[in-house]
Amino acid sequence: MKNEMFIEFSSVSENESFARVTVAAFVAQLDPTMDELTEIKTVVSEAVTNAIIHGYNNEPNHKIEISCVLNDGEIDLVIKDFGIGIEDVNEARQPLYTSKPDLERSGMGFTIIENFMDSVEVISKPEVGTTVHMKKQLTNSKTVYN
């Protein structure tokens, strides 16, 4: 069965928990394990935080979009901002790399996303924005559908 949802919200840090809880609630219908649900919540939190801090430089008057498609136990998750973009995506994806060390960022956001998802694609253009496209197959549905 295919099912999809789309949300759009302001780039304020209060919405980090809103975003991860909302996506987790949508994904819950696939009956994921607790670990999988935590992983999904964590990657949403990381990507939305990146959009707020880096994409929009903490300016509250912008929009972040999340779309999520569930298809035969696979989660297809897209988190998108229309901010300043990333000059060098490969550099940004390096563990411990941060463009904002003064803000006490750990530089682990993308590394965590890569560890928790099956595939991660980062499409970014300076002054246009950043899209993070992630996929994850849930374990219980793998046994059901294969």
Partner 1 sequence: MGLNYTFSVKEDVLIVRLAGEIDHHESENLRDVWKETMYANSVKHVILNMESVSFMDSSGLGVVLGRYKEVLQLGGEMVVCSVSPSIKRLFEMSGLFKIVRLEESEEYALETLGVAS
* HSE (side-chain half, CA atoms, 13 Å) at 39: 21
Structure tokens at 9: 């919200």
Under rule CB under 8 A, which residues in 27-86 are in contact with partner 1?
Answer: 35, 38, 41-42, 45-46, 49, 52-53
Task: Give me the 91-110 binding string for partner 1, x by CB under 8 A, dash otherwise.
Answer: ----xx------xxxxxxx-
Q: In what order do the strands lie in the sheet with 119-125?
A: 2-10, 63-71, 74-81, 129-137, 119-125
Q: Shortest Cβ distance from residue 56 to partner 1 (Å)?
A: 13
Asked if residue 137 binds partner 1 (CB under 8 A), the reply is no
Backbone angles phi, psi at 11, to 5 degrees: -85, 60
Asked if residue 138 binds partner 1 (CB under 8 A), the reply is no
Catalytic (active site) residue 104: no
Of the candidates 65, 74, 105, 114, the residue annotated as catalytic is: 105
